[in-house]
Amino acid sequence: AVDETEKLQKLYNLLEAKGFETWMEGVALLLALCKNSPKVIPTNIVQIFDYFLLRISDTHNKVKQMALDMLAEIIVILEDALNLVIVLTVEGILKNLNSKDPGVHAA
């Protein structure tokens, strides 16, 4: 449990830190946690997505595109666990449909 708490705290710190490189590291960590610790994420899904959705709406296009690309993988892994955050997630995705950045729009 302590190890899980430390992983989550690291994730939160990376996703809310300053600097796009740190945010990208946080997004990558979220995907890794989804793959390697599938029970940790669903029990903390609301708090995790409060941080993660900030990256989907990020002003930095590289971060936004990476978050959207990884979201596709996260959805496959988490499936039903996303029920609590699906509305906010869809809203975050919809905001990017009009993006002028081709990478963000495609993601």
Give the torsion sign (CA, 74, 75, 79, 82): positive
pLDDT digits (tens, 9 = 90+) for 57-81: 888 888 888 899 999 999 999 988 8
Q: How confident is the model at residue 31, as a pLDDT?
A: 94
- Mean pLDDT of all residues in 14-37: 91
Q: How far apart are CA 105 and CA 107, in angstroms?
A: 6
Q: How far apart are the first and last CA of the chain?
A: 34
- pTM (2 d.p.): 0.85
